[in-house]
């Protein structure tokens, strides 16, 4: 409020206006303490004033009740000298003084301004200055009513001091004036209040009187005192309503507020004081809502001035509730939903205004109250929407549309007049009225705004840690979404709500949420999962087949008790089988079962939230426990299944045990035993669950899953029932009866052992066999089946069969496949046969003669006897001369080889290549038939005729006689061709002395080309020095043939070709001829000195 206490000035106006601004600034500079009557605490305030010229007419009468507009204080200004004073000023003063006195106004001050200090000083006589005169004339009894202001326009300290004195005096006197007026006013007011129960008393009058006091305090900057005035009025009004409600006594004035309410414009907090509203109240035109709106807006304005915006939010809820209460009590007639509109609009206004006034530091305190306010807003919006047919599954009827129109008009009456006040600085947030209009305009916008508001409210609640409230809103939202048909969204909220209710142990609420959830899931048409216990319970679970083989059916017997009175058709029942590494041990059970389901729902850190610790139950839940087959159990006993509850530490266990969540997670149902299409009759039902196709391992029963159309029930089978599913593939093994190997080429007794693995072979079962190529099973008649005649203790079947593997089969790995009805797949058995012999050949040369050696290496421990060796040759030019004893029986085995030798004689030299075939008959004791069998071996020889003989001679220097270490000797290499008369024989050869530097040091050409002479011989001489003494082998010499390669230079024929006879050598310019040396094939060169040695004497002088 911009009003200030009014102070009049009189006297020298020119003087005053020169001092005016200094006065305005100086007055509030220092705070003054204001001691007040009735023991009220002193207040410190900064005084301000607005100065008006004095006019006798504005002086209030003594009876006047105004406070704010009253001129409180009167100042007379003069700076005259004594003469002027005497002439005119005194007169003026007197007039002024008398006027004041007539109005019985003691609040005045005469200010004498002295501009010329020297003047005062020069006056030696007292009582001769103006000030003395004034004091004498007017202030003889009250000397403080006259004050001197020394040279106020100067800036020195003296003048400052004089100012301070003046202002201090002025403040004090003004406060005195206030006190006097206020005490008088308050007394009046009190007496007026005392009369409140008298007939004819009007609340509005009293309201205006007390409000005036409030204005006064506000003017003085005492906002809290001002607020008290309004609070008192508020309380007084409430009290009247209450009294009327309880006693039924109705004050006459009350009927003004019981008028029908045609406008439900919300609270407006845009202006500190809404004068329109005030006038309405003043003129008794205000409805209850108007009055309340005005009163609360004043309270809010003061609270904002006190910088307590959160208190606005705090009071708001109460204000709204109380007003509604009063509307009801006073039976104020309002259209349906209008009050809700008013609440909504007011809430929004408060929220918006609070937000503007709140900074982040107050957010916490503020949110605490706004959350409730928002929630209230939200509810109201919903109920308006409900009435106007805007909620999701409704469409507004024509009546409802009319209602919307009525409501809209009712809240918008003052729109325009209000807009005028709102300057350009008004925020862009839509006015609550606009928001409500928007919300009411269509179902969609209503939904949007409602959801927006709900989310915001929920967020605020969460922010201040009121999670239960947030949950409730979540549940509301779920209802809303459900009506919208968005069951998916609803479900999340419901699940959250249900879980938290469950966790806190509010079962009725959790069940309520559960019902909603059921509705929601019904809507979604998806399957959903519930706890089984309400419908069925499980009496007994027995594993009928604790140990099964893979692919054998696994059976669980469950006795299910139907608690309902009717048959229930179940589509499918399943029990999950969980693979477990844990072996079924009785002692480890209790942990194994109950850990798994433990607090899997991670606890949110929720403030003020302790999950319920359940009481320790005093009931022991026991159940029968078997291990092993039910007919023949290994152990039997009873097991307490709730040991974890009973044996729990009673205190300090903190969070306590989990409360089983209603919504359980599915187990892994990849492995399950099931039984389909069952009708569960009331009472006990024995169900057998069957499972096939389980892989090997240990299994534990997990959950029971009952499926009835869209519904799924889950129940943990809290029993420790284990399955062992094992699986061993059948296998087959073949071992020889005698000997260590299975040998090809002979008939051999072997033992075929079949380990049926997880399957069971019975006597009389038939096995069909199938052998790979080259392998035959020797059986009488052409049968391919084996009949099991005997089963060993281990369950194996053993057969003794004769096997024959063709010796000439390349693949030594043979396979037997056994098929049977018992086994799902054929059983394969691979047999590794080893050949009894290994045959090699070797060609030997002695000058021109050639020999062939056939070596038979044995491969077995057992003896094989070879007879009648025979070698045949393909080429007619080669003749074979056996060097073996006739009719000799030779024995071969792993440790003993046999050699045969033939001499090859050739008629011509031109035998390039020939095949040789070696055959022999053999028999063995291993062979079951013991008949002679044929072994044949083929080989071929090529280029085996001797072409050259190389002879080496190492001779010492003639003077030495014998070779000595370190002494030079001569190596002569003599080459002779056997084809002396052959013209086309090669005469150009290469030689190479293979050097072994540790034995011989060589000089001269260790390799090179040599030309045969006429007589088809050649000789090469090299210098050699033996390096070691003793019998030293000759340096080895190798003879090589030369071959010329012709490289064609033609670009288009870039490839090289061998030097054939066709290719002309006559064109050397064109072709490049290079010579290669190639080794002779084995036997073509006979090195006659290859094993010769020379005696080397040690060198006497050589220390080495």
The answer to the question of residue 657 lying near other proteins (CB under 8 A) is no
3-state DSSP assignment of residue 345: helix
Binding mask 589-608 for other proteins (x = CB under 8 A): ------------------xx
The answer to the question of residue 519 lying near other proteins (CB under 8 A) is no
d(CA 731, CA 752): 11
Residue with tokens 């009411």: 440
Q: How far is the CB of 529 from other proteins (least distance, A)?
A: 24
Residues 971, 993 contacting (CB under 8 angstroms): yes
Residue with tokens 């006197």: 173
d(CA 706, CA 714): 7
474 vs 858, beta carbon nearer other proteins? 474
The answer to the question of residue 472 lying near other proteins (CB under 8 A) is yes
d(CA 960, CA 406): 150
Token digits of residue 9: 């000035």
67 vs 520, beta carbon nearer other proteins? 520
Q: How far is the CB of 510 from other proteins (least distance, A)?
A: 10
The answer to the question of residue 504 lying near other proteins (CB under 8 A) is yes
Candidate ranges 149-157, 387-395, 498-506, 993-1001; the one touching other proteins (CB under 8 A)? 498-506
Number of residues located near other proteins, criterion CB under 8 A: 37
Q: How far is the CB of 184 from other proteins (least distance, A)?
A: 35
Residues 451, 353 contacting (CB under 8 angstroms): no
Pick from 236, 258, 306, 317: which binds other proteins (CB under 8 A)?
317
Residues 935, 1068 contacting (CB under 8 angstroms): no
Q: Of 741, 994, 687, which Cα lies nearest the Cα of 861?
A: 741
Token digits of residue 740: 């260590």
DSSP-derived letter for residue 896 is B
The answer to the question of residue 1053 lying near other proteins (CB under 8 A) is no
Pick from 465, 553, 736, 826: which binds other proteins (CB under 8 A)?
465
Q: Please tell me the number of Cα atoms within 13 Å of 758 on its side-chain side.
A: 16
Pick from 123, 249, 321, 905: which binds other proteins (CB under 8 A)?
321
Candidate ranges 462-470, 801-809, 828-836, 995-1003; the one touching other proteins (CB under 8 A)? 462-470
Candidate ranges 461-469, 481-489, 834-842, 1031-1039; the one touching other proteins (CB under 8 A)? 461-469
The answer to the question of residue 612 lying near other proteins (CB under 8 A) is yes
Q: Please tell me the number of Cα atoms within 13 Å of 873 on its side-chain side.
A: 19
Q: How far is the CB of 469 from other proteins (least distance, A)?
A: 5
The answer to the question of residue 501 lying near other proteins (CB under 8 A) is yes
Residues 326-345, interacting with other proteins (CB under 8 A): 328-329
For the chain, the farthest-separated pair of C-alpha atoms sits apart, in whole angstroms, at 187
Q: Of 962, 986, 970, 972, which Cα lies nearest the Cα of 1099?
A: 962
Binding mask 146-185 for other proteins (x = CB under 8 A): ----------------------------------------
d(CA 321, CA 335): 18
How many residues are given for the chain? Answer: 1104
CA 206 to chain centre: 67
The answer to the question of residue 653 lying near other proteins (CB under 8 A) is no
Task: Tell me whether strands 108-114 and 146-150 are parallel, antiparallel or unpaired.
Answer: parallel
Q: How far is the CB of 359 from other proteins (least distance, A)?
A: 22
Q: How far is the CB of 465 from other proteins (least distance, A)?
A: 7
467 vs 689, beta carbon nearer other proteins? 467
**Which letter, b or e, does each residue of 1031-1065 get, where b requires 16 or more Cβ atoms within 10 Å of its Cβ?**
ebbbbebbbbbeeeebebeeeeeeeeeebeeeeee
| Cβ atoms < 10 Å from Cβ of 821 | 9
Pick from 31, 53, 430, 505: which binds other proteins (CB under 8 A)?
505
Candidate ranges 303-311, 431-439, 468-476, 967-975; the one touching other proteins (CB under 8 A)? 468-476
Residues 767-806, interacting with other proteins (CB under 8 A): none
Q: How far is the CB of 176 from other proteins (least distance, A)?
A: 42
The answer to the question of residue 31 lying near other proteins (CB under 8 A) is no
Q: How far is the CB of 406 from other proteins (least distance, A)?
A: 22
The answer to the question of residue 509 lying near other proteins (CB under 8 A) is yes
246 vs 1053, beta carbon nearer other proteins? 246
212 vs 504, beta carbon nearer other proteins? 504
Q: How far is the CB of 249 from other proteins (least distance, A)?
A: 14
| Cβ atoms < 10 Å from Cβ of 902 | 23
Q: Of 410, 309, 297, which Cα lies nearest the Cα of 363?
A: 309
Element (H, E) at 323: helix 309-329
Binding mask 196-235 for other proteins (x = CB under 8 A): ----------------------------------------
Candidate ranges 459-467, 725-733, 741-749, 987-995; the one touching other proteins (CB under 8 A)? 459-467
Pick from 180, 270, 271, 468: which binds other proteins (CB under 8 A)?
468
Q: How far is the CB of 715 from other proteins (least distance, A)?
A: 24
3-state DSSP assignment of residue 652: coil
Strand order in the sheet with 878-882: 837-846, 849-858, 897-906, 878-882
Pure H helices in 388-431: 398-411, 415-421
d(CA 88, CA 82): 10
Candidate ranges 34-42, 238-246, 450-458, 767-775; the one touching other proteins (CB under 8 A)? 238-246
Q: Of 253, 504, 469, 510, which Cα lies nearest the Cα of 368?
A: 469
The answer to the question of residue 645 lying near other proteins (CB under 8 A) is no
Candidate ranges 316-324, 415-423, 528-536, 1071-1079; the one touching other proteins (CB under 8 A)? 316-324
The answer to the question of residue 626 lying near other proteins (CB under 8 A) is no
Pick from 157, 615, 652, 1050: which binds other proteins (CB under 8 A)?
615
The answer to the question of residue 506 lying near other proteins (CB under 8 A) is yes
Q: How far is the CB of 639 from other proteins (least distance, A)?
A: 26
Distances (CA, A) of 905 to 779, 875, 944: 49, 11, 11
d(CA 723, CA 695): 11
The answer to the question of residue 646 lying near other proteins (CB under 8 A) is no
Residues 240-259, interacting with other proteins (CB under 8 A): 242, 245-246
Q: Of 116, 122, 174, 123, which Cα lies nearest the Cα of 148?
A: 116
100 vs 347, beta carbon nearer other proteins? 347
Pick from 610, 899, 913, 943: which binds other proteins (CB under 8 A)?
610
Residues 353-372, interacting with other proteins (CB under 8 A): 372
505 vs 710, beta carbon nearer other proteins? 505
- Assign 3-state DSSP to the chain and report helix, strand, coil percentages, each to 5: 30, 30, 35
Q: Of 674, 670, 668, 664, which Cα lies nearest the Cα of 575?
A: 674
The answer to the question of residue 512 lying near other proteins (CB under 8 A) is yes
247 vs 670, beta carbon nearer other proteins? 247
Q: How far is the CB of 480 from other proteins (least distance, A)?
A: 16
613 vs 687, beta carbon nearer other proteins? 613
d(CA 505, CA 657): 12
3-state DSSP assignment of residue 876: coil
Strand partners, 933: 922
3-state DSSP assignment of residue 184: helix
Residues 962, 1095 contacting (CB under 8 angstroms): yes
Residues of the shown chain interacting with other proteins in the complex, contacts defined by CB under 8 A = 242, 245-246, 317-318, 320-321, 324-325, 328-329, 372, 376, 461, 465-469, 472, 475, 501, 504-506, 508-509, 512, 607-613, 615, 656
């Amino acid at each position: 409020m911009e009003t200030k206490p009014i102070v009049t000035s009189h006297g020298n106006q020119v003087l005053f206006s020169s001092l005016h601004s200094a006065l305005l600034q100086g007055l509030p500079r220092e705070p003054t303490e204001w001691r007040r009557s009735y023991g009220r605490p002193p207040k410190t305030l900064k005084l301000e004033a607005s100065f008006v010229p004095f006019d006798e007419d504005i002086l209030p009468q003594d009876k006047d009740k105004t406070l704010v507009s009253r001129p409180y204080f009167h100042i007379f200004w003069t700076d005259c000298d004594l003469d002027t004073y005497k002439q005119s000023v005194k007169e003026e003063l007197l007039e002024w003084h008398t006027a004041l006195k007539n109005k019985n106004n003691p609040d005045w001050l005469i200010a004498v301004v002295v501009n010329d200090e020297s003047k005062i000083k020069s006056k030696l006589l007292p009582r001769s200055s103006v000030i003395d005169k004034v004091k004498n004339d007017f202030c003889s009894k009250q000397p403080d009513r006259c004050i001197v202001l020394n040279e106020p326009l100067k800036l020195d300290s003296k003048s400052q001091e004089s100012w301070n004195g003046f202002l201090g005096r002025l403040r004090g006197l003004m406060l005195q004036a206030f006190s006097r007026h206020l005490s008088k006013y308050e007394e009046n007011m009190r007496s007026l209040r005392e009369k409140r129960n008298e007939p004819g008393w009007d609340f509005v009058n009293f309201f205006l009187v007390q409000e005036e006091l409030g204005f006064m305090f506000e003017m003085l900057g005492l906002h809290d005192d001002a607020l008290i005035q309004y609070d008192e009025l508020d309380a007084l009004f409430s009290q009247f309503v209450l009294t009327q409600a309880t006693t039924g006594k109705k004050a006459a004035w009350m009927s003004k507020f019981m008028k029908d309410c045609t406008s439900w414009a919300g609270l407006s907090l845009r202006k500190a004081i809404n004068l329109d509203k005030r006038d309405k109240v003043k003129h008794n035109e205000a409805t209850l809502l108007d009055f309340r709106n005005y009163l609360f807006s004043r309270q809010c304005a003061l609270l904002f001035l006190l910088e307590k915006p959160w208190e606005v939010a705090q009071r708001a809820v109460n204000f709204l509730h109380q007003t509604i209460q009063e509307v009801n009590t006073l039976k104020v007639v309002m259209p349906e939903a209008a009050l809700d509109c008013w609440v909504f609009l007011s809430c929004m206004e408060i929220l918006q205004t609070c937000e503007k006034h709140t900074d982040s530091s107050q957010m916490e305190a503020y949110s605490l109250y706004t959350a409730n306010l928002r929630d209230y807003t939200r509810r109201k919006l919903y109920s308006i929407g409900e009435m106007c047919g805007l909620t999701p599954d409704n469409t507004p009827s024509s009546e409802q549309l009319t209602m919307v129109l009525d409501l809209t008009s009712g809240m918008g009456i003052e729109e325009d007049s209000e807009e005028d006040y709102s300057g350009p600085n008004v925020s862009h947030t839509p006015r609550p009225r606009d928001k409500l209009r928007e919300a009411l305009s269509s179902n969609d916008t209503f939904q949007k705004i409602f959801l927006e508001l709900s989310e915001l409210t929920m967020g605020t609640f969460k922010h201040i840690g009121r999670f239960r409230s947030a949950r409730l809103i979540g549940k509301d939202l779920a209802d809303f979404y459900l009506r919208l048909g968005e069951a998916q969204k609803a479900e999340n909220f419901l699940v959250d709500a249900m879980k938290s209710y469950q966790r806190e142990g509010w079962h009725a609420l959790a069940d309520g949420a559960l019902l909603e959830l059921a509705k929601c899931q019904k809507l979604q048409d998806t399957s959903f999962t519930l706890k089984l216990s309400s419908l069925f319970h499980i009496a007994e679970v027995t594993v009928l087949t604790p140990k099964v083989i893979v692919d054998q059916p696994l059976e669980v017997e469950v006795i299910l008790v139907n608690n309902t009175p009717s048959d229930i058709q179940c589509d499918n029942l399943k029990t999950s089988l969980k693979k477990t590494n844990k072996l079924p041990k009785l002692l480890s059970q209790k942990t194994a079962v109950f850990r798994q389901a433990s607090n899997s729902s991670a606890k949110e850190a929720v403030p003020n939230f302790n999950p319920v610790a359940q009481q320790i139950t005093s009931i022991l839940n026991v159940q029968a426990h078997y291990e092993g087959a039910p007919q023949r159990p290994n152990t039997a006993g009873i097991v307490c299944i709730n040991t974890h509850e009973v044996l729990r530490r009673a205190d300090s266990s903190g969070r306590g045990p989990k409360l089983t969540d209603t919504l359980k997670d599915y187990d892994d149902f990849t492995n399950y035993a099931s039984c389909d299409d069952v009708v569960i009759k009331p009472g006990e039902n024995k169900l057998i669950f069957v499972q096939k196709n389980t892989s090997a391992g240990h299994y534990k029963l997990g959950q029971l899953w009952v499926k009835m159309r869209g519904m799924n029930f889950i129940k943990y089978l809290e029993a420790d029932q284990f399955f062992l599913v094992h699986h061993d593939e059948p296998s087959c093994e073949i071992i020889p009866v005698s000997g260590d190997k299975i040998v090809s080429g002979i008939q051999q007794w072997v033992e075929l052992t079949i380990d049926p693995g997880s399957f069971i072979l019975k006597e009389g079962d038939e096995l069909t066999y199938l052998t790979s190529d080259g392998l035959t099973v020797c059986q009488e008649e052409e049968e391919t089946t084996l009949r099991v005649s005997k089963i060993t203790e281990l369950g194996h079947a053993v057969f003794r069969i004769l096997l024959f593997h063709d010796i000439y089969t390349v693949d030594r790995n043979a396979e037997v496949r056994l098929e049977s009805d018992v086994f799902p797949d054929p059983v394969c058995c691979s047999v590794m046969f080893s050949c009894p012999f290994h045959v090699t050949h070797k060609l030997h040369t002695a000058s021109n003669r050639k020999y062939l050696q056939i070596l038979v290496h044995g491969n077995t421990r057992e003896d094989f006897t070879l007879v009648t060796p025979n070698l045949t040759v393909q080429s007619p030019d080669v003749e074979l001369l056996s060097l073996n004893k006739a009719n000799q029986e030779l024995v071969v085995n792993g440790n003993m080889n046999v050699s045969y030798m033939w001499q090859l004689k050739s008629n011509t030299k031109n035998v390039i290549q020939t095949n040789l075939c070696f055959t022999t008959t053999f028999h063995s004791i291993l062979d079951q038939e013991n008949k002679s069998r044929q072994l044949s071996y083929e080989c071929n020889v090529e280029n085996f005729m001797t072409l050259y003989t190389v002879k080496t001679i190492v001779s010492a220097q003639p003077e030495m006689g014998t070779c000595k270490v370190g002494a030079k000797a001569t190596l002569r290499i003599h080459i002779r061709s056997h084809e002396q008369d052959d013209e086309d024989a090669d005469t150009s050869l290469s030689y190479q002395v293979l050097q072994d530097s540790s034995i011989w040091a060589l000089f001269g050409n260790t390799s090179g080309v040599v030309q045969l002479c006429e007589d088809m011989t050649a000789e090469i001489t090299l210098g050699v020095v033996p390096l070691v003494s003793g019998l030293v082998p000759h340096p080895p010499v190798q003879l090589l043939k030369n071959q010329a390669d012709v490289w064609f230079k033609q670009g288009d024929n870039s490839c090289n070709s061998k030097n054939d006879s066709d290719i002309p050598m006559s064109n050397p310019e064109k072709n490049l001829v290079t010579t290669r040396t190639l080794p002779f094939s084995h036997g073509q060169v006979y090195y006659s000195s290859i094993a010769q040695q020379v005696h080397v004497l040690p060198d006497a002088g050589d220390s080495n």
